[in-house]
Amino acid sequence: MSFLTSLVNGLSLGSIYAIIALGYTMVYGIAKMLNFAHGDFIMVGGYIIFTCVSTAGLPPAAGILLAIVLCTLLGIGTEKVAYKPLRHAKSNLAVLITAIGVSYLLENLALLIFGADTKSFTNVVTWPGIALFGGQLRIQGVTIVTILVSLAILIVLQLFINHTKNGQAMLAVAQDQGAATLMGIDVNKTISLTFAIGSGLAAIAGALLCSAYPSLTPYTGAMPGIKAFVAAVLGGIGSIPGAMIGGLVLGIVEILSKTYISSQLSDAIVFGILVVVLLVKPTGLLGKVTQEKV
C-alpha cells in the first residue's frame, strides 16, 4: 500500500511538473529560448495568492484568478522588456543570461517584499479527499484536483493549438519565423501570446504546488522550474503531450526514489535522467528530429 501511496503522490507532483513543463516547452518551441525565470513565475503566483487569501482575506478562487491575470501580464511584460531586444542577438547565450538575470530579479524582489521566512500557505482545495481500500489508501483532495487540472489543461491546450487560428500561428512560428512573417502572421503577437499562456500556467502550478507543499519562500519556484525543464526535455522539447508524459515520469521517479532509495539522492537521480536522455535520445521521448542547416 505504501507503494500505491507513493505512486499517487508521484502522479500529483508529476502533474505539477507537467503544468510547468507545458509552459517551458511552448516558450522554448516558439520563442526558441530557455526562459530560466519560468520557475520564478510559480513563486510570484504563490505570493499573490498568499497575499490575497491570508492577508487580504479574499476567497481562494479570487486569489487564483488574480494570480493568473498578474502572472500573465508579468510574462508578457518580461518578454517585451528583457527578451525581445535580444531576439536576434548574435549569441544565444545573451538571452539565456538575461533570463537568469530576470530570475534573480524576481527572487530578490520577493525577498525584499516578503522576507526570507517561510510563509505557510493555506491549501486552496478545501475538499479533504477520498479513502480507498477501507481507509488504507488516503488520497488528498489537492492530489486529485492537481491531476484533473493538469489533464484538463493538456486537453484544452491541444484543442487550442490544433483547432484555432492563433494555435496554428504558434505552430507556424515554431517552425520558421521568417516564413511565418511572410504568411502574414504577427510573430511578436504570437510570441507574446505564448508567454501569456506559459505564465498563466505557471500561476496555476504555483497554486497547486503551494497547496500540496504548503511552504512558500522566494526560492520555492527555482528547483521545480529546473526540474520541469528536465521534464520538458525528457518528453521532447516543443511537444505538448511530451511535456505531460515527461512531467509525470519525473514526478513518479522523484517520489519513488525519495521513498525507496534516499531522499538526499533523489535530486541527483532526477538530474541523472536528464543527462541520460540527452546522451541517448537528445530529442526526448516524443520530440522531432530537425536537421541543422548550414
Count of residues engaged in binding another protein, rule: CB under 8 A: 43
Output the smallest distance, CB 33 to another protein, in A: 8
45 is written with which cell numbers? 503566483
Instruction: Rule CB under 8 A: say whether 3 interacts with another protein.
Output: no
For another protein, the binding residues in 20-49 under the rule CB under 8 A are 28, 33-34
Instruction: Rule CB under 8 A: say whether 109 interacts with another protein.
Output: yes
With the C-alpha atoms ordered 153, 155, 159, 162, is the resulting torsion angle positive or negative? positive
Pick one of 89, 130, 132, 183: the residue that binds another protein (CB under 8 A): 89
Output the smallest distance, CB 238 to another protein, in A: 13
Output the smallest distance, CB 19 to another protein, in A: 19
Instruction: Rule CB under 8 A: say whether 256 interacts with another protein.
Output: no
201 is written with which cell numbers? 500556467
- Interaxial angle between packed helices 165-175 and 2-31, expressed in degrees from 0 to 180 and rounded to the nearest 10: 70
Provide the terminal-to-terminal Cα distance of the chain, rounded to the nearest Å: 55
Instruction: Rule CB under 8 A: say whether 76 interacts with another protein.
Output: no
CB 160 within 8 A of CB 181: no
For another protein, the binding residues in 159-188 under the rule CB under 8 A are none
Output the smallest distance, CB 262 to another protein, in A: 6
Pick one of 112, 130, 151, 152: the residue that binds another protein (CB under 8 A): 112
Instruction: Rule CB under 8 A: say whether 86 interacts with another protein.
Output: yes
CB 125 within 8 A of CB 145: yes
Pick one of 69, 77, 104, 156: the residue that binds another protein (CB under 8 A): 104
Kindly compute the dihedral angle of the four CA atoms of residues 196, 200, 201, 207, in this order, to the nearest 10 degrees. 160
Span interacting with another protein, options 125-133, 163-171, 190-198, 222-230, rule CB under 8 A: 222-230
> 102-126: buried (b, 16+ CB within 10 Å) or exposed (e) per residue?
bbeebbeebeeebeeeebebebbbe
Instruction: Rule CB under 8 A: say whether 129 interacts with another protein.
Output: no
Instruction: Rule CB under 8 A: say whether 230 interacts with another protein.
Output: yes
Span interacting with another protein, options 13-21, 61-69, 99-107, 163-171, rule CB under 8 A: 99-107
Instruction: Rule CB under 8 A: say whether 260 interacts with another protein.
Output: no
Rule CB under 8 A: which residues touch another protein? 28, 33-34, 82, 85-86, 88-94, 96-98, 100-102, 104-105, 107-109, 111-112, 226, 229-230, 233, 262, 264-265, 267-268, 271-272, 274-275, 278-279, 282, 294
